[in-house]
């Protein structure tokens, strides 16, 4: 068996390999370093480097895989440990955590993002139920690093068991509180969290730090705790596997899987496909991208989902995109897989251009789309393909 460790698993540039082909590597060993903005990459297995490609390092696994790993270098500075461990936003954003946390919040607050917003994905909630201490400890470390006074855990009330566990876990914590998000998508969007938890409206393009806040996904907090307390680099990921799979139709959670394992491994683990099946999606149903059986798990991978086959239509379609759902490119890709012709495109009317990128004015406060649908129809659309959250 081989693992395929991508050299770009984060916001920033592609990492530079620091090992050679045929070299024997140990689990936890540093194998690639950033070139500018980025994060260290470590081997997730014991094995031998089979090849080094432009975008990945392929490692042939040894038969014996011990749980032991090479620890990151000791350091009294938490931010340095986080940097050394190669931690990036595990919720999907992939921004290097040591850069994000290098702020002084002047007594502001840190919010643990436990929204687990995308349908089907459930690994964050399962992790909380199993190991809520990671969330509490992680919050405390981040509060210390950023000079924050309060910590909040943002979660949807529908996750009753996880809420109960969290309420119990922080009952003796003076500065940490559980706060509720609306049961909607995209409640996990950072600006939605700031709006719902703090009552502060951030403009499109503004970051939570402008409200003296840092938001960290709960799995990122877990990785921070593991780096600080166990000197563990990021070599595993929590994921949900689901969709048209015999034993995982509603989603099955796998915690701590080695980074670099292929989607195919999990498809087999879940009993194989339910036929007929459509494409493999890496990520959640809303924001995931097309994947292949050999797509490897990355530091930001949340899901391996198998869709239904796309309906075959030769219609002329209009594409209606939203910031928080599938983007125009992805919708066009889906249209082409349906055999449809895209004749017109539009964006949700709340989307505004900020620094060359379209962003939603008020995520989750979604308008009706009737006007835009009429526009698309007027321009020849016989059917509409949309990634908009509501409306
Ligand atoms: S307002 Fe529009 S762009 Fe914003 S989240 Fe809702 S549907 Fe998406």
SS3 329: helix
Nearest CA to ligand 1 atom 1: 366
CA-closest candidate to residue 145, choices 227, 222, 77: 77
Query: Which candidate, 291, 288, 312, places its Cα nearest to that of 302?
Result: 288
- The DSSP element (H or E) to which 160 belongs, if any, is helix 160-169
Query: Average model confidence (pLDDT) for the chain?
Result: 95
Angle ∠(299,324,210) on CA atoms, nearest 5: 80
Q: How far is the CA of 20 from the centre of ligand 1 (A)?
A: 47
CA angle 243, 6, 100 (to 5 degrees): 90
Mean pLDDT of 75-101: 96
Is residue 134 within 8 Å of 299, Cβ to Cβ?
Answer: no
Rounded to the nearest angstrom, the distance between the alpha carbon of 110 and the centre of ligand 1 is 25
Rounded Cα gap, residues 369 and 319, in angstroms: 12
Determine the distance separating the centroid of ligand 1 and the alpha carbon of 367, expressed in angstroms.
7
Residue 390 predicted with pLDDT over 60: no
What burial class does residue 334 get, using C-beta atoms within 10 Å of its C-beta: 0-12 exposed, 13-18 middle, 19+ buried? buried
d(CA 109, CA 154): 12
Compute the distance from residue 55 Cα to the ligand 1 centre, in Å: 34
192, 193, 324: residue to mutate for ligand 1 pocket, most atoms within 8 A of CB: 324
Q: Half-sphere exposure of 315 toward its Cβ, with a 13 Å CA cutoff?
A: 16
Mean pLDDT, range 374-391, rounded to an integer: 84
Which distant-in-sequence residues (6+ apart) come within 8 Å of 68 by Cβ?
27
Atom of ligand 1 nearest to the CA of 347: 3
390 vs 124, residue with greater confidence: 124
The CA 325 to ligand 1 mean position distance, Å, reads 8
Give the Cα separation of 326 and 328 in Å (integer).
7
* Average pLDDT of span 374-385: 94
What is the pLDDT, as a whole number, of residue 391?
42
Q: Work out the percent of the chain whose per-residue pLDDT is above 90.
A: 84
Centre of ligand 1 from the C-alpha of residue 116, in Å: 18
Mean pLDDT, residues 33-38 taken together:
96
Residue 186 CA, closest ligand 1 atom number:
5
Q: How many CB atoms sit inside 10 A of residue 162's CB? A: 26
Residues 215-225 have a mean pLDDT of: 98
Task: List C-alpha distances in Å: 160 to 127, 194, 200.
Answer: 14, 22, 26
pLDDT digits (tens, 9 = 90+) for 137-159: 999 999 999 999 999 999 999 99
pTM of the full structure = 0.95
**Ligand 1 surroundings by CB, under 6 angstroms:** 186, 322-324, 348, 350-351, 360, 362-364, 366, 388-391
User: Nearest C-alpha to atom 5 of ligand 1 is from which residue?
Assistant: 363
Residue 124's pLDDT is what?
98
Substitution candidate for ligand 1 out of 354, 388, 391 with most atoms within 8 A of CB: 388
Whether pLDDT at 365 is above 90: no
188 Cα–ligand 1 center, Å: 13
């Amino acid at each position: 068996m081989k693992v395929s460790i991508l050299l770009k698993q984060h916001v920033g540039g592609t990492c530079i390999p620091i090992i050679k082909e045929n070299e024997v590597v140990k689990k936890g060993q540093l194998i690639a370093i950033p070139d500018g903005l980025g994060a260290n990459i470590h081997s997730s297995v014991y094995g031998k480097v089979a090849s080094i490609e432009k975008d990945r390092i392929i490692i042939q696994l040894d038969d014996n895989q011990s749980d032991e790993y090479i620890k990151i270098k000791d350091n009294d500075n938490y931010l340095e440990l986080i940097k050394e461990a190669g931690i990036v936003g595990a919720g999907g954003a992939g921004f290097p955590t040591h850069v994000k946390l290098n702020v002084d919040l002047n007594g502001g607050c840190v919010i643990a993002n436990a929204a687990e917003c995308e349908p089907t994905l459930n690994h964050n909630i399962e992790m909380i139920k199993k190991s809520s201490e990671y969330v509490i400890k992680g919050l405390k470390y981040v509060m210390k690093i950023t000079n924050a006074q309060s910590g909040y855990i943002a979660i949807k009330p529908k996750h009753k068991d996880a809420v109960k566990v969290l309420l119990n876990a922080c009952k003796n914590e003076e500065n940490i509180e559980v706060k509720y998000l609306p049961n909607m998508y995209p409640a996990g969007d950072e600006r939605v969290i700031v709006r719902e938890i703090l009552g502060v409206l951030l403009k499109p393009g503004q970051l939570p730090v402008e409200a003296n806040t840092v938001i960290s996904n709960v799995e990122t907090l877990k990785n921070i705790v593991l780096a600080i307390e166990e000197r563990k680099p990021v070599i595993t990921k929590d994921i949900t596997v689901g969709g048209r799979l015999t034993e995982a139709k509603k989603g099955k959670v796998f915690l701590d899987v080695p980074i670099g394992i292929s989607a195919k491994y999990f498809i087999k683990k879940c009993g194989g496909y339910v036929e007929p099946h459509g494409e493999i999606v890496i990520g959640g149903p809303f924001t995931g991208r097309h994947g292949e059986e050999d797509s490897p798990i990355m530091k930001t991978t949340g899901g391996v989902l198998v869709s239904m086959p796309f309906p075959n239509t030769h219609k002329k379609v209009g594409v209606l995109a939203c910031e928080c759902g599938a983007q125009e490119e992805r919708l066009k890709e889906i249209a082409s897989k349906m055999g449809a012709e895209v004749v017109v495109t539009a964006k949700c009317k709340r989307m505004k251009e900020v620094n060359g990128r379209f962003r939603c004015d008020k995520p989750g406060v979604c308008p009706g789309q009737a006007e835009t649908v009429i526009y698309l129809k007027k321009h020849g659309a016989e059917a509409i393909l949309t990634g908009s959250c509501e409306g």
